[in-house]
Structure 1
């Protein structure tokens, strides 16, 4: 149990037993995956992490921020960026394979389904999910492509293929997409992702948008 902080005019770290930020994030990820955003409480997360609920607020500020940060345990932007630079196949193949790997894994896949469902049904979870995609994933990928508005739009166009595929395959489970092997899906989706990321700007219509 974390002892209350001493009264001070300056906000600082609470005294007492050290608290692992990672332990709180891990507990939050599990709770959000099992119960969804609305049913998950900070008190339940605190109990799972064996800390005082006030420490959860101290570390993360709000449930929405904790939701957004716990997404990084499932989708690590650094891992996605690494796939752009190394591995087998072209850039689209590597990215799609890495992304589908998150959904195919029993633990992270279940977490993604629950969190995406929360993001489509709760406004706070929606804003947290959108912030995560904009500030972490899209920023990391666009920076790896050279940065700037052009790269960010390319990353977002690629994301439309990835997110749409995930919703139909793993959330809604619509056949035949839901019944294909993961590698078959990679083969089908990768060319479009590669095109969005590497095709000349005028072929994608980006030049017209920049000058319009």
Structure 2
């Protein structure tokens, strides 16, 4: 009698084993950071997460949405919202809290290189830009504006504050333009914080905010 046929082990999850969104997101975050948006494929992410590519598509719908969701692993909107509300041991100035929290994401060893790679993708690929825009609008601005009233003017205030934060990060970390790129972090916080504070807290008439 012929010996039983040998079977080749297949990498991946056993049939019926649940697929974790968190595992796929972690794989996507690492792949986007390593290869950039354009070169990253859903199949590559699926291979890294040990799942079928169809499952990645089922869970997230598109590469653009997966990129947007991956950003939440790096910039937690709730951390920025907490910086707005503050707590007993925090800096008394809201701008100082916001700038320090945001720059901390860019300077932390576990997120610095990923932030650079993902923002670089957002400035060079239209789909990545759309994903970044959606992340800012649907997560960051929603979370921050909720802490300062939640209305249309609060959302505009949050956007103005974000313009200072993102612009600072672009020049300091992505483009590395001196002297901003060479300043100590505490100096950057001290210089940028008053503008962020003004956008978030100044009287609407003083800012010239339109009626929305």
TM over 0.5: yes
Partner of 2:80: 80
**Per the alignment, in what secondary structure is the counterpart of residue 96 of structure 1?**
helix
Unpaired runs of 5+ residues, structure 1, are: 4-14
Taking the aligned partners of 1:159 and 1:115, their CA distance within structure 2 comes to 17
Does residue 178 of structure 2 align to residue 194 of structure 1? no
One of 143, 150, 154 as aligned partner of 1:151: 154
Q: How does 1:89-108 map to 2 (within 5 A)?
A: 89-108=92-111
CA RMSD of aligned residues (A): 1.3
Partner of 1:126: 129
Deviation at 1:133, TM superposition (A): 0.3
Taking the aligned partners of 1:106 and 1:77, their CA distance within structure 2 comes to 19
Taking the aligned partners of 1:106 and 1:178, their CA distance within structure 2 comes to 17
Give the conservation status (yes or no) of the 8 Å contact 2:31–2:40. Answer: yes
Taking the aligned partners of 2:40 and 2:16, their CA distance within structure 1 comes to 26
**Per the alignment, in what secondary structure is the counterpart of residue 130 of structure 1?**
helix
Partner of 2:33: 33
Partner of 2:19: 19
- What TM-score, normalized by structure 1, do the two folds share? 0.90
Deviation at 1:106, TM superposition (A): 2.2
For each residue in 1:152-211, what CA deviation from the matched residue of structure 2 results, as whole angstroms up to 9, or x when unmatched?
A: 1100111111010000000000111001111110001000000000000010001xx218
Partner of 2:211: 210
Unpaired runs of 5+ residues, structure 2, are: 1-11
Q: Which moved more, 1:32-41 or 1:102-111?
A: 102-111
Deviation at 1:107, TM superposition (A): 2.7
Report how many aligned residue pairs link the two structures.
198
**Per the alignment, in what secondary structure is the counterpart of residue 189 of structure 1?**
helix
Give the conservation status (yes or no) of the 8 Å contact 1:74–1:102. Answer: yes
Return the structure number with greater helix share: 1
Taking the aligned partners of 1:181 and 1:52, their CA distance within structure 2 comes to 46
For each residue in 1:5-54, what CA deviation from the matched residue of structure 2 results, as whole angstroms up to 9, or x when unmatched?
A: xxxxxxxxxx7111111010001001101110001111111111111111
Deviation at 1:2, TM superposition (A): 5.3
Partner of 1:7: none
- What TM-score, normalized by structure 2, do the two folds share? 0.90
**Per the alignment, in what secondary structure is the counterpart of residue 106 of structure 1?**
coil
Give the conservation status (yes or no) of the 8 Å contact 1:142–1:154. Answer: yes
Partner of 1:68: 68
Does residue 170 of structure 2 align to residue 167 of structure 1? yes
Partner of 1:110: 113
